[in-house]
Amino acid sequence: MIIDTHAHYDDKAFDEDRAELLQSMQGAGVERIVNIGSSLGACKRTIQLMEQYDFVYGALGIHPTDSGELTESDIEWIRENCALEKCVAVGEIGLDYYWDEPDRAIQRKWFVRQLALAREVKLPVVIHSRDAAQDTVDIMKAENARDLGGVVHCYSYSKELAKTFLDMGFYFGIGGVVTFGNGRKLKEVVEYLPLDRMVLETDSPYLAPVPFRGKRNDSRKLTHVVEQIAQIKGISLEEVQKTTTRNAYNLYPKLK
């Protein structure tokens, strides 16, 4: 059994067959799914999915590219809902300088604010960081993110920088990119990382692994990511599944 630690089943890409698809998950070996909030609307839909499906848990937070209109009363709403039994983390939060929208200063402000929120509600964080390595590390250090714990989702930086996040006690979300022909940098990172710091994630509906690259992703396709990690590490599929599943429960202590 495997755990998808990062998915967006609230996305409209699933509107046509969401129920059917989610009902097929446990039969296909997917034990738990953590649906990740990215906007206020997505957080509300995440709560609905948590209520509808036993095996779906959630994280609540605002993605940097959605932080432009955020207000303190929105943060208060998230804070209240973090108390829900099945809310396992604050996220996804962070910095995205690839899209560079909204303004970097605004992204930084809400990243800092949501790290503080995680501290208030005593939950780990799900970090989104793209083309913003230095500022991400600087802010995480300044805010003592080490005490919060969490995961760097869709890790896209170097092996060298991976050590910095390892030293902060963070997990690494590994998904479809590791199967890509041009995913050499991530393959090196996976080779370097201890298995007990990796968790599986899809980022569904995005980042489907080969041979589905470019198509809609879903958690059942994680078997291809498991195969790739097993091959890189020279270990069995069972060991990858067993260890990443245990890691997911350690990463999100409220996940049951």
CB closer to Ni ion out of 180 and 192: 180
**Minimal distance, residue 231 CB to Ni ion, in Å:** 25
Is residue 201 within the footprint of Ni ion (CB under 5 A)?
no
CB closer to Ni ion out of 203 and 218: 203
Residue in 203, 208, 220, 244 binding Ni ion, rule: CB under 5 A: 203
CB closer to Ni ion out of 143 and 203: 203
Residue 103 has a CB neighbour count (10 Å cut-off) of 11
3-state secondary structure 221-235: HHHHHHHHHHHHHCC
**Minimal distance, residue 238 CB to Ni ion, in Å:** 27
**Minimal distance, residue 103 CB to Ni ion, in Å:** 21
How many residues touch Ni ion under the rule CB under 5 A: the total is: 1
CB closer to Ni ion out of 66 and 203: 203
The residue sitting closest to Ni ion, measured at its beta carbon, is 203
Interacting residues toward Ni ion by CB under 5 A:
203
